[in-house]
Amino acid sequence: MQARRAARELAFILFSQFEKNITNYSKSDLEDIILKSVRILSGNASDELKISLGSLIDMKNKINDYEAEHEINLSRPIEASNIPVPLPMTSDMTGRIDEMIDIAEKALLALEIAEFTTLDSQSDVKDYAVKIAETFQKHHEAVDAEIKKYAKNWDFDRLVKMDKDILRIAIVELLFIKDAPMKVVVDEALELAKKYSTDDSYSFINGILAKVIVENGLQ
């Protein structure tokens, strides 16, 4: 995982814990919140791994039951070991496997972010997350004005907070930090939307960022 990607996700978790007035937070406050965020990530990773383990055990039990109940084994003596049998259609298995892959990837991502943040050699993850937060503190009115400008027919105060925070991070990078490729910033904002927000968030965030890019001459 790239350090910047980890920093963006950490910044998103950091933003989620802000109270309404972000300007009240010092750099020390931000770093304390990051430490708590890492603990949250580690806990989430542990939960995801437990879910993944449960799914694996469940799948193993289903396979064992399928084998035991197959007509070949039902006709064998009770004391005899089961004979391996062909699995059912691949379509019966792929959905469960895809579910476990998704859970495992989320758990791995959370663990990687926690590792990146706690290692001294990767302090740039924490530093960049703090930089995003401090830049938003400085320019929060301008950033939120961009969202309000392009989120027509939407009540800003009633927007999903996760969507606002994802947009805030991306707009801070696009308009004020300006040291990451535009496509990377947008793509990773959309990844955050897919992971953390609602089904409609992807297209909403993509549309807002596209307008920010065009109207600010970033193309």
Q: What are the tens digits of pLDDT across the range 132-186?
A: 999 999 999 999 999 999 988 888 888 889 999 999 999 999 999 998 899 999 9
- CA 4 remoteness from chain centre: 14
DSSP codes of every residue in 108-149: HHHHHHHHHHH-GGGHHHHHHHHHHHHHHHHHHHHHHHHHHH
CA distance 158 to 156: 5
Token pair listed for 188: 């990773």
Q: What are the tens digits of pLDDT across the range 34-85?
A: 777 777 767 776 777 777 777 778 878 888 888 888 888 888 888 888 888 8
> What was the pLDDT predicted at 121?
44
**Mean pLDDT value of segment 87-102:** 71
Sequence-ordered list of residues with C-beta below 8 angstroms from that of 155, at least 6 positions apart, any chain: none
Q: Does domain 8-215 have CATH number 1.10.940.10?
A: yes
pTM of the model: 0.69
Total count of residues recorded for the chain: 219
> What was the pLDDT predicted at 113?
62
CA distance 177 to 40: 27
**Mean pLDDT value of segment 30-34:** 82
> What was the pLDDT predicted at 163?
94
Rg, C-alpha atoms of the chain: 23
Stronger pLDDT, 143 or 117, i.e. the higher one: 143
In a 13 Å sphere around the CA of 177, the CA atoms on its Cβ side amount to 24
Stronger pLDDT, 15 or 36, i.e. the higher one: 15
**Mean pLDDT value of segment 77-95:** 78
CA distance 123 to 32: 14
> What was the pLDDT predicted at 112?
66
Break the chain into its structural domains and give their ranges. 8-215
Stronger pLDDT, 187 or 44, i.e. the higher one: 187
Helices (H), the chain: 3-16, 27-68, 71-74, 90-118, 123-150, 161-172, 182-196, 201-215
